[in-house]
A and B are shown apart, each in its own frame.
Chain A
Amino acid sequence: MAITRKEVIKQVKAIRIFFRSIRDALKSVVRNFSLSMASILSVTITLIIVSVAIIIALNVNHATKDIEKELNIVVYASREATEEDIENLLSEIKSNRKVRETKFISKEVQKTNMSEYDETFKTILNFLDENPLLDSVIVYVEDVKEMSTVASELKQIPNVETVKYGEGTVDEVVDAFDIIEKVTIGIVIALVLVTIFLINNTIKLTIYSRKSEIEIMRLVGASNTAIKLPFIFEGLIIGLVGAIIPICVTIYGYVILHNAMKGYLFSEMLKLIKPFDIVFQVSGALLAFGALVGMYGSLKAVRKYLKI
């Protein structure tokens, strides 16, 4: 297929307009310095707040997940069970799809564990001829919300003496974590929406002050696309530059915080996420978020003034 000369010229012109828009956007940011600065600062401040909220939310969820992981069910095999029975019991537990992990603890191992744990236990256990303990299996489930169902399912397996999990408390803890998770996600979403609104408004104000510019562009024969492009790039630049400080705050701030608190929040049970597991993802999200909101904000504002 031959491309006509006319089409080539058209494309070359479009490319020229595209690159000129980038140049014009840069020029405009520099020459409207105070206005650009106002927009950039508002992006910076809101992104810092968003970043803090995201990091708190991630950590809260991480901590609850950590605790949930430790929640388990203990299955005790009956005393009469033979070794073969126990084999069957184990494979039966493992075949349950809701089970994530199992750990078999024989009564001998349990005996040594307990003896090491406490002198009194040791004396009592040694006093008895027979090991009074039972073989047990520690079961971790995929989803802690299904703990009670899994527990009752495990009870049905032959040769199971008892099944124990922190019945009432586990359900309460799980429910509480569920609420915490929803609340933190809700806060992050609300903050993101507020940010979009704030950034949009600031950019709208900066463009409003240049309403006449848009009108002039139209009067000298600029197409709508040629008018929109520089403003979109300007929004992009404002969003990207505005994200720089929040990204530094995120990376340095979180690393410093993590070190200062030695990786724990309040107690050793609540571990903070390791900085380099999240800071770069969060920074990337901030950058993308700033850029998108900046572009969207200015596109929306220009559109408003193009409707003549």
Chain B
Amino acid sequence: MKFIEFKDVTKTYSNGITACADMSVEIDKGEFVFVIGLTASGKSTFIKMLYREEKPTKGTVSVGGVNVGKLRNRKVYKFRRKVGIVFQDFKLLPNLTAYENVAFALECVGMKNSEIRPKVLRALEIVGLKDKVRSFPKELSGGEQQRVCIARAIVNEPKLLVCDEPTGNLDPKTSKEVMEVISNINHDLGTTVIMATHDKDIVNRMKKRVLVISNGMLVGDYAKGSYKASESN
């Protein structure tokens, strides 16, 4: 069984819109996969089903052997602890410092302070923010906030890192830095990374596996380096 499996997944929202139609895809452990597509193509739905923000209407989504769609609401939090999520809008807690934001993911598991400290500092070191530990989100730049968000996502040492347009709010230079951080995590820690994006430069430069989604359907699955985004896409 593959690490991530989508089997005949269909997602229809209550307003009748089908965001995902009969999609099947498999992703291996340690892979780096881009998911691209236009706005409203269904790529966000695809990403959200990975961390059980949305449940499939039909078919099964399994992540690391867990049937995500069957998870009960009250049990979701245990699954979320095994998945790191990076958001376009960072989703940092505004009243907590960078350190506290990252530590929060471990504190709510009930971990000891003496265990939390080194892990948080290590995660912040990986993303290159060791000197901004005490800053509040509003005192950080967009790129720095996104790196805090990444640190929080990886501090649990998850097997899967889901990124929903992580560079959507960042300028090209900062985007490049953030992508480097994510790429290193994939390379050094062996974390599987699935990233939704519509930044063609990044996709072309990184030369990774690419899934193309259009109108809720998987229209292309390009192996590592075989995809070349053109202007028409």
Contacts and interface: CB of A to CB of B under 8 A. Distances in A.
Interface string B71-84: 00110111111000
Given A221-B80, A224-B77, A17 B108 contact: yes
Interface in A211-261: 212-213, 215-224, 226-227
B108 A223 contact: yes
A221 B93 contact: no
Contact of A213 (B80, B93, B108): B93
Interface stretch (A24-32, A150-158, A199-207): A24-32
Interface size class of B (residues with CB under 8 A): 20 to 34
A216 B110 contact: no
Given A219-B91, A220-B104, A308-B73, A16 B81 contact: no
Interface class of chain B by DSSP:
loop
Contacts of A219: 51, 53, 80, 85, 87, 91
B77 A14 contact: no
B107 interface: yes
A20 interface: yes
B173 interface: no
B110 A17 contact: yes
A168 to B, nearest CB: 68
Interface class of chain A by DSSP:
helix
Interface centre among B74, B80, B110 (most CB of A within 10 A): B110
Interface residues of A, number: 25
B93 A218 contact: no
A16 B152 contact: no
Contacts of B104: 217, 220, 222
Interface string B100-119: 00001101111110000000
Interface centre among B74, B78, B92, B104 (most CB of A within 10 A): B104
B75 to A, nearest CB: 9
B112 A221 contact: no
B44 interface: no
Contacts of A216: 91-93
**Which are the 3 A-B pairs with shortest beta-carbon distances?**
A13-B110, A222-B108, A221-B81
Given A16-B107, A221-B108, A222-B104, 19 more contacts: A12-B110, A13-B109, A28-B95, A213-B93, A215-B91, A216-B91, A216-B92, A216-B93, A218-B76, A218-B80, A219-B85, A220-B85, A220-B104, A220-B152, A221-B79, A221-B81, A222-B108, A223-B108, A226-B108
24 contacts: A12-B110, A13-B109, A13-B110, A17-B108, A20-B107, A27-B95, A28-B95, A215-B91, A216-B92, A217-B104, A218-B76, A218-B77, A219-B80, A219-B91, A220-B85, A220-B104, A220-B105, A221-B78, A221-B79, A221-B80, A222-B77, A223-B78, A224-B74, A227-B108
Interface of A: 12-14, 16-17, 20, 27-28, 31-32, 212-213, 215-224, 226-227, 308
